[in-house]
């Protein structure tokens, strides 16, 4: 029976469904997978300092234990769940869904049939330009989007990014980065209209559950050589000091959790 048969009786749906799925799977199977090219950093750095190793056992700040790294690579290559259980981690934290990429898609092409461009190499000017962009985003985190056009920091950010030939963000017709184009993506429509923040300000509901858009702020401990000074910040990233970062990267929990303050605030709509 043809999958396009006008017969819609329930008794015919199972074989029609089988025929439809078989036809679609057969079509998808003839789409050749593109070559997946990496940026060369894994082979370039013997200590794997240019490769993502978060959670894997470390020998120092940012340096992975090579034996532990080998267990990680073995699991990725074999796809065997037992090998993933044998990855040597740096603490009680587990990896976040490392086998997700092994799943098969039943409704479209396989993931291997989509090309993924390589990330900028660690020593490349493109990667450096991305870091410059991120630092400017950090400096502008408390500036409302509506003030970008007149804010001097935003103007300086646009000026510097305009001067970077390897900056891949959007530019205007004169090849300049303007304050209103800062931190936008490269997809169609990304440069049109105002920003929509990830922090919505209006109270809302999820069915019968009321949701108040206020967040707990964080009490941050700032270390100096001679003292520890406590200050209150509305963002947790202000608390990310080297010791906390290295603990997290190594797979261990931070020494102490970040305590929250009793004050709850509406977060301003900022990008970063």
pLDDT tens for 82-98 read 999 999 999 998 999 99
Residue 235 lies inside a defined structural domain of this protein: yes
Average pLDDT over residues 198-211: 80
Looking up tokens 């034996």, which residue turns up? 67
Is the model's pLDDT at 227 over the cut of 60?
no
- Among 18-27, 132-141, 157-166, 206-215, the minimum mean pLDDT is found in 206-215
| pLDDT level of residue 7 (50, 70, 90 thresholds) | low
Residue 242, CA distances (Å) to 90, 195, 223, 228, 254 in order = 17, 32, 10, 15, 11
Average pLDDT over residues 156-184: 96
Compare 246 and 219 and report the one with higher pLDDT.
246
- Contact present, 216 and 258 (Cβ < 8 Å): no
Is the model's pLDDT at 261 over the cut of 80?
no
Residue 255 lies inside a defined structural domain of this protein: yes
The reply to whether 7 and 59 lie within a common domain is no
Token readout for 126 is 């493109």
Residue 106 lies inside a defined structural domain of this protein: no
The reply to whether 251 and 223 lie within a common domain is yes
User: What is the rounded average pLDDT for all residues in the chain?
Assistant: 82
Is the model's pLDDT at 11 over the cut of 90?
no
Residue 198 lies inside a defined structural domain of this protein: no
Residue 24 lies inside a defined structural domain of this protein: yes
% of the chain residues with pLDDT over 70: 75
> What domain count does the chain have?
4
> Looking at residue 230, what is its pLDDT?
35
Residue 40 lies inside a defined structural domain of this protein: no
The reply to whether 136 and 174 lie within a common domain is yes
Q: How far is CA 13 from the centre of its chain?
A: 42
The backbone torsions φ and ψ at residue 223, rounded to the nearest 5 degrees and listed phi first, read -85, 140
The reply to whether 85 and 136 lie within a common domain is no
The reply to whether 144 and 172 lie within a common domain is yes
Average pLDDT over residues 171-180: 96
Residue 39 lies inside a defined structural domain of this protein: no
Residue 59 lies inside a defined structural domain of this protein: yes
Closest residue by Cα to residue 254 from 98, 93, 56, 96: 93
Range of the domain at 68: 48-95
Determine whether 267 is exposed, middle or buried from the number of CB atoms within 10 Å of its CB (0-12, 13-18, 19+): middle
Is the model's pLDDT at 246 over the cut of 50?
yes
pLDDT digits (tens, 9 = 90+) for 96-128: 999 998 999 888 899 999 999 999 999 999 999
């Amino acid at each position: 029976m043809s999958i396009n048969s006008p017969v819609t009786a329930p008794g015919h749906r199972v074989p029609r469904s089988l025929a439809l799925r078989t036809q679609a799977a057969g079509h998808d199977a003839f789409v050749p997978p593109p070559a997946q090219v990496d940026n060369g950093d894994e082979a370039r750095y013997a200590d794997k300092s240019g490769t993502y190793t978060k959670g894997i056992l470390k020998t120092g700040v940012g340096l992975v234990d090579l034996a532990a790294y080998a267990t990680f690579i073995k699991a990725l290559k074999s796809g065997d769940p037992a090998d993933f259980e044998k990855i040597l981690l740096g603490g009680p934290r587990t990896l976040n869904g490392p086998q997700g990429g092994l799943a098969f898609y039943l409704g479209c092409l396989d993931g291997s049939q989509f090309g993924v461009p390589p990330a900028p190499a660690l020593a490349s000017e493109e990667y450096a330009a991305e870091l410059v962009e991120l630092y400017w985003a950090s400096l502008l985190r408390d500036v409302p989007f509506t003030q970008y056009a007149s804010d001097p920091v935003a103007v300086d950010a646009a000026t510097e990014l305009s001067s970077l030939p390897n900056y891949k963000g959007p530019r205007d017709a004169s090849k300049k980065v303007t304050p209103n184009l800062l931190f936008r993506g490269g997809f169609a429509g990304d440069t049109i209209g105002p920003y929509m923040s990830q922090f919505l300000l209006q109270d809302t509901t999820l069915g019968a559950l009321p949701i108040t858009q206020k967040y707990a702020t964080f009490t941050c401990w700032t270390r100096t050589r001679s003292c520890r000074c406590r200050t209150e910040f509305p963002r947790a990233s202000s608390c990310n000091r080297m010791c906390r970062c290295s603990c997290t990267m190594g797979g261990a929990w931070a020494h102490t959790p970040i305590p929250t303050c009793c004050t709850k605030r509406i977060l301003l709509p900022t990008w970063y």
